[in-house]
Amino acid sequence: MSQVQQIYAQLREMVLSLDLGPGERLTERWLETRFAGSRTPIRAALIRLEAEELVRRDGRNWMVAPIDLGEIAALAEFREPLETTAVRLACTRATDSDLDTVAALLDSCRSDAPREAWHEAGTDFHVELARLSGNPFLLKAVRGVMTRLARARWLEVLTEASREQAWTEHRCILAFIRQRLPNAAAREAAAHVQATRDRLLQSLDQDRRGLRARGFAVVGQRLIEPDLVGPGLVGPGLVGQDLAGQDLVGQAGA
């Protein structure tokens, strides 16, 4: 691995894990000292992170991109059709062995597991379902979305209650895939994306002052619009129709 790749990988992990807080300013001189590298590989690594919108230029220096509430809402809109399509395809393309692997991933997190393990397993769950769709473009898009949400998602694993709620929703999605019920799996995936969006936005909005006290920059407004329900996709508590015209009643995380 080249020096640029090493610096990029380490710096990226520091940003995603909040070791470097949103809005934190970065000087090239500090980075040169921290990573024992010269200005050229440091700048190359920063440019790669800038392309991922994890850092941005701040005059002659750099800063970690702030957490944007509006971006979280927009990502949910983008993520929902991706994940509902992925689970529909997984219903027909994933083998029982594939699904056993996903179940083992969820089972790997016990109540005493560190937050890092829950965070990683939650990300891997969504990426693996996208992989089981058999569509490389869906996989790439879902992986990108989960990367963009990585910093905010630390709040989802902050408390035991929030972790258990997310895992209940994960297991429900997986159960419908096992039963080869694409409409039900898609419905639950949509409900999970919406519930995650609401949990993250509420936590960030309520704790904005506390986050700023820690030096974390949170920008944007918390705007949650009414659920948009497509054919066969039903949000929590809503009534819709599947592709065959049958009535479906949404269930929140059941």
CATH code of residue 9: 1.10.10.10
- Is residue 249 assigned to a domain? no
Task: Flag whether 248 is in a domain.
Answer: no
The DSSP symbol for 250 reads: -
Task: Specify the 3-state DSSP secondary structure of 66.
Answer: coil
Are 204 and 100 within one domain?
Answer: yes
Which of the listed residues 26, 45, 65 is the one where a domain comes to its end?
A: 65
Count structural domains, the chain. 2
Rg of the chain's alpha carbons, rounded to an integer?
Answer: 20
Query: Residue 36's domain spans which residues?
Result: 3-65
Q: Of the residues 42, 65, 88, which one is the last residue of a structural domain? A: 65
Residue 203 has pLDDT above 70, yes or no: yes
Indicate if 87 and 43 belong to the same structural domain.
Answer: no
Q: Is 177 inside any structural domain?
A: yes
When mean pLDDT is compared across 110-119, 129-138, 194-203, 205-214, the lowest value belongs to: 205-214
Same domain, 178 and 203: yes
Q: Report the Cα 15 to chain-centroid distance in Å.
A: 15
Residues ≥6 apart with Cβ < 8 Å to 235: 190, 191, 194, 227, 229, 250
Does residue 248 surpass a pLDDT of 70?
no
pLDDT for 210: 66
The last residue of one of the domains, among 65, 95, 112, is 65
Q: Average of pLDDT values for 34-41?
A: 91
Query: Parallel, antiparallel, or unpaired: how do β-strands 67-68 and 61-64 relate?
Result: unpaired
Amino acid code (one letter) for 147? T
Q: In this structure, are 177 and 123 located in the same domain?
A: yes
Cα–Cα dist 62/156, whole Å: 28
Judge if 61 and 74 occupy the same domain: no
**pLDDT tens-digit readout, 164-182:** 899 999 999 999 999 999 9
Distance of alpha carbon 70 from alpha carbon 219, whole angstroms: 8
Same domain, 47 and 80: no
